[in-house]
Amino acid sequence: MRLTTLALATLLTACASAPAPHTVAAAPQPVDVPQVARPDGETAAWWYRAGAARAAGNGAMQGRARNVIIFLGDGMSLPTVAAARVLAGQRAGNPGEETMLAFEQFPNTALSRTYNTDYQTPDSAGTMTAIATGVKTRLGVIGIGPGNKRGDCAAVADNTLLSIIELGESAGLSTGVVTTTRLTHATPASVFAHGPDRNWEDDSYLPAAKAAAGCRDLAAQFVDFGFGDGIDVALAGGRAKFTPNTLADAADPKLKGMRKDGRNLVDEWKAKYADGTYVWNSAQLAQAANAPRVLGLFAPQHLPYTADRKADAQEPPLAEMTRAAIAHLQRNDKGFVLLVEGGRIDHAHHDGNARRALEETIAFSDAVQAADEATGDDDTLILVTADHAHTMFFAGYPKRGNPILDKVRGISGEDSSGSEYAVDKNGQPYTTLGYANGPGAPKAGEPRPDLDDIDTEAVDYLQQALVPLGAETHGGDDVGVWAKGPGADAVRGSVEENVLFHFLVQATPTLRERLCAAGTCNADGVPVELPKPADFKP
């Protein structure tokens, strides 16, 4: 269309008088932190200094956050995010591809490299330790540096790292841990415990020789937590790890605790914290709204999958636990540090079950939304990420709006065959989602099952896999990072996973000042030296 001179003038006048568009904030100013050489390899001190340098170089020191919330989608790979957004959209009656999960609307993004110091493809213990302490470390260890080999109890004291929850408590902030897994599982344990093996969740899993060598189980370490006035809110599963094997479970008398030492850690926690309230179901959690301190253990093991929740479920969903935790923590005028984990995304992937994994991801997004609504962008830094990826793939050429859990309606190559389903070289249909390995693979010598009459959207359906394994494995690919709030502008680029800790700490003055008070900061006030946990205890 051609514009006349008058029309063009009118258009230019309208543009000139229109409100100015939203201006983009100036990029945060970097701080130069010289890196240190690696004369002895990638030590804990080197990882910490390198992470601090990258965060400061991105401008994290300009942050003025009062509260920090870390959302950890365990195993939430980028294909998981993409598929979950499609499922959420389709369940709302839309094609799905255009949908955005709550955290995808955050303005700042990055990629995180997840490898452990000794493995290309990592586990949750080493990865969450990196996020929680600023130091990359080995696969399978909890809250300790890479100088400590897995299973070595003698070296723990010399390799113990300070977590962001411990730092927060030492700085006078309130702290919380929320998860759909056992409280003693790898991700949550990494913020309050220190040990050379993630599997030692209770004393029945801790070998006697290791206990004699000084190692302690993770549940006992939660009760013995010695920073500040203790963790204010912990909402999770795993109560069997805290009770003796002679005690019947509160919800199911047929089940008993798992501890062999006779200790009832729930009773010990209540005795230690006179202001504490212990709850084990959703109704009790609601009644504890005004309690100063809450420990909620809502299942003997992990909480049920979202897809398996019953109408009368006693276990609160992740969003409900998140809202409850924030309401408790907001009472502290100094601020708070909160970890929220959607832990069962990972478990469903290990089972080769995409539907449950995607539903857990949507529930995780709901929890992020709840936190965003309960807090303000002016004082709360929210960072969402995953600890590692999985091998689920999103493939084929399904048509726009094709049910994400169904078989591919579309094409297999660049040209359409004209049939309803895309088919492989053997003439069989296949699903959009699958796994590189796992329990969905055919047994030796058997062909791939014909999916024509199989409901691939059923809750128990296992996606087909290439390599047969008893459980699907993690993936080694990068994961996403999404952030908003004070200091979030620094969250950009491709970063090592341990840098996430430094983004959070440098953007929160109360945490920075506590580190500086312990002598870990340089002349510019950047925390660059590896802190010693003993310096942060009362």
Complete DSSP assignment for 27-47: PPPP---PPPP-TTSS-HHHH
Rounded to an integer, the average pLDDT of 275-302 is 97
Residues with Cβ within 8 Å of residue 377, at least 6 apart in sequence: 484, 485, 486
Whether residue 48 lies inside any domain: the answer is no
Question: 485 - beta bridge partners?
Answer: none
Whether residue 176 lies inside any domain: the answer is yes
Asked whether residue 390 is marked as a ligand-binding residue, the answer is no
Range of lowest pLDDT (54-68, 137-151, 359-373, 410-424): 410-424
The Cα–Cα gap between 407 and 385 comes to 29
Range of lowest pLDDT (185-189, 333-337, 448-452): 448-452
26 confidence band (pLDDT: 50, 70, 90): low
Asked whether residue 474 is marked as a ligand-binding residue, the answer is yes
17 confidence band (pLDDT: 50, 70, 90): very low
29 confidence band (pLDDT: 50, 70, 90): confident
Instruction: Reply yes or no on whether the pLDDT at 419 is more than 90.
Output: no
Q: Quick one: pLDDT at residue 34? A: 65
Q: Quick one: pLDDT at residue 19? A: 40
417 confidence band (pLDDT: 50, 70, 90): low
Whether residue 381 lies inside any domain: the answer is yes
Q: Which residues are catalytic?
A: 124
The Cα–Cα gap between 185 and 508 comes to 27
Proportion of the chain above pLDDT 90, given as a percent: 88
Proportion of the chain above pLDDT 70, given as a percent: 93
Residues with Cβ within 8 Å of residue 309, at least 6 apart in sequence: 315, 317
What are the pLDDT digits (tens) for 32-81?
A: 776 666 656 799 999 999 999 999 999 999 999 999 999 999 999 999 99
Rounded to an integer, the average pLDDT of 87-103 is 98
Whether residue 487 lies inside any domain: the answer is yes
Asked whether residue 152 is marked as a ligand-binding residue, the answer is no
Range of lowest pLDDT (107-121, 132-146, 392-406, 414-428): 414-428
Q: Quick one: pLDDT at residue 32? A: 76
Sign of the CA dihedral with 295 first, then 298, 301, and 305 last: negative
2 confidence band (pLDDT: 50, 70, 90): very low
Instruction: Reply yes or no on whether the pLDDT at 18 is more than 50.
Output: no
Whether residue 462 lies inside any domain: the answer is no
Instruction: Reply yes or no on whether the pLDDT at 15 is more than 50.
Output: no
Strand intervals (E) in 416-477: 433-438, 465-468, 474-475
Asked whether residue 74 is marked as a ligand-binding residue, the answer is yes
Asked whether residue 366 is marked as a ligand-binding residue, the answer is no
How many domains would you assign to the chain? 1
Q: Quick one: pLDDT at residue 36? A: 60
Rounded to an integer, the average pLDDT of 90-109 is 98
498 confidence band (pLDDT: 50, 70, 90): very high
* CB 85 within 8 Å of CB 99: yes
Whether residue 91 lies inside any domain: the answer is yes
Asked whether residue 187 is marked as a ligand-binding residue, the answer is yes
Q: Quick one: pLDDT at residue 24? A: 45
Please give the DSSP secondary-structure letter assigned to residue 303: P
Q: Quick one: pLDDT at residue 39? A: 54
CATH number of the domain encompassing residue 514? 3.40.720.10
165 confidence band (pLDDT: 50, 70, 90): very high
**Domain residues for 197?**
68-391+473-535
What are the pLDDT digits (tens) for 205-256?
A: 999 999 999 999 999 999 999 999 999 999 999 999 999 999 999 999 999 9
Q: Quick one: pLDDT at residue 25? A: 52
Whether residue 463 lies inside any domain: the answer is no
| pTM of the shown model | 0.93
Q: Quick one: pLDDT at residue 411? A: 86
Residues with Cβ within 8 Å of residue 380, at least 6 apart in sequence: 65, 66, 67, 68, 69, 485, 486
Asked whether residue 302 is marked as a ligand-binding residue, the answer is no
Instruction: Reply yes or no on whether the pLDDT at 176 is more than 60.
Output: yes
Whether residue 309 lies inside any domain: the answer is yes
Range of lowest pLDDT (265-269, 343-347, 421-425): 421-425
* CB 439 within 8 Å of CB 469: yes
415 confidence band (pLDDT: 50, 70, 90): low
